Amino acid sequence: MALHCRPVAQHELVRCQALTAGWGRGVHSAATLAALPEVWRQLLAERRLAFYVFVDDDEDSAREVQGYVTAGFASDAWADEVASHHRPWLCRQLVEATLRGDALLLDRAGQARANGGAGVNAFGLDFALADSDWYLPRVMRWFPWMEWSLRDWLAGWRLRSVVREMFGFDTYLLARGAGYPLLRDLRRAVPDDTPLRERPYLCGAYRERALRRPSSVLGRLFMDQAPVFDFNDGERELLELALRTLADDDIAERLHLSPHTIKVRWRRIFAEVQRARPGLLPDDGGTEFQGRGSEKRRHLLAYLREHPEETRPREAVRV
């Protein structure tokens, strides 16, 4: 089967809502389940939400999305409250808060401030798969792509904490295998008639604890590196989209900018790279958009794939 994982497309949100309805009867109320697509659209537009879909290309187009996962960064106050006094159903709480107008997840500016300080608090949120029988062998076929989505989301950030609410013993075992310690067993905190596969476990770690196991999936994510380049937020946006293999015309359309502005940003990016890391890019004799620009871009994007911290928003802490 042609299995892979990628960021969600807007037209796939209703499919993801249906996947949630298929298994998460206790996780969402009828009201929050109905509101999911609109809440997701809002949070995606505000860049507060990370959203990945698990895709099987061998399925027909209506069913090729076989699962999804959502996540975001929370304030220190909410993260600490969850760790010490957690009530089950984090994802339901998020939807209810969003509908009330409360912003539990950080926007881009809040992410930059946290990333330049003590670090961001990463919260795993909704998760669903199309398979109705959630036994471990069927879940395991998606495990490499769950790890991929986790790395794609978190690599390059300075992490303060990572928390995920897991449902059912099998997915809890997957979390432990990825290095998530158990924070709280919440099975007794839900109604007695909650299905076994919907009984929650709160898994995760703060920075100090995660670094005790530096070779685990989670431990490696906490081993952050400070960026070398001083890109501004607009330049980081361009580079993020270029890393998704988008062409300049597509990037210009996505950012609502002119092609000329995109070229100017590339020039500034190359100038910053030359300032901070002379010799990283091939010399073009000053004609970066006359035959050598694509070669410089190829070298830079290859470097950035190994150094994702360069494209993460980070606001310097002022002492």
* This prediction's pTM: 0.88
Secondary structure class of 170 (helix, strand, coil): helix
Q: How far apart are CA 96 and CA 81, in angstroms?
A: 17
- Res 25 pLDDT > 60: no
- The pLDDT tens digits for 116-127 are 999 999 999 988
DSSP 62-100: TT-EEEEEEEEEE-HHHHHHHHHHPPS-HHHHHHHHHHH
Secondary structure class of 3 (helix, strand, coil): strand
Long-range contacts made by residues 217-221, C-beta under 8 angstroms, separation at least 24?
Answer: 217/147, 217/150, 217/151, 217/178, 217/179, 218/162, 218/178, 218/179, 218/180, 219/179, 221/150, 221/151, 221/154, 221/155, 221/159, 221/162
- The pLDDT tens digits for 28-81 are 889 999 999 999 999 999 999 999 999 999 888 878 999 999 999 999 999 988
Sign of CA dihedral 80, 81, 87, 90: negative
Going from N- to C-terminal start, the domains of the chain cover 3-221, 233-311
Q: What is the pLDDT of residue 135?
A: 64
CATH top-level class of 233-311: mainly alpha
Q: What is the mean pLDDT of residues 204-211?
A: 88
Q: What is the pLDDT of residue 83?
A: 83
- The pLDDT tens digits for 267-300 are 999 999 999 999 999 876 555 444 457 899 999 9
Indicate the fold that domain 3-221 takes in CATH: Aminopeptidase (3.40.630)
- The pLDDT tens digits for 157-200 are 999 999 988 887 877 887 777 678 888 888 887 878 777 777 88
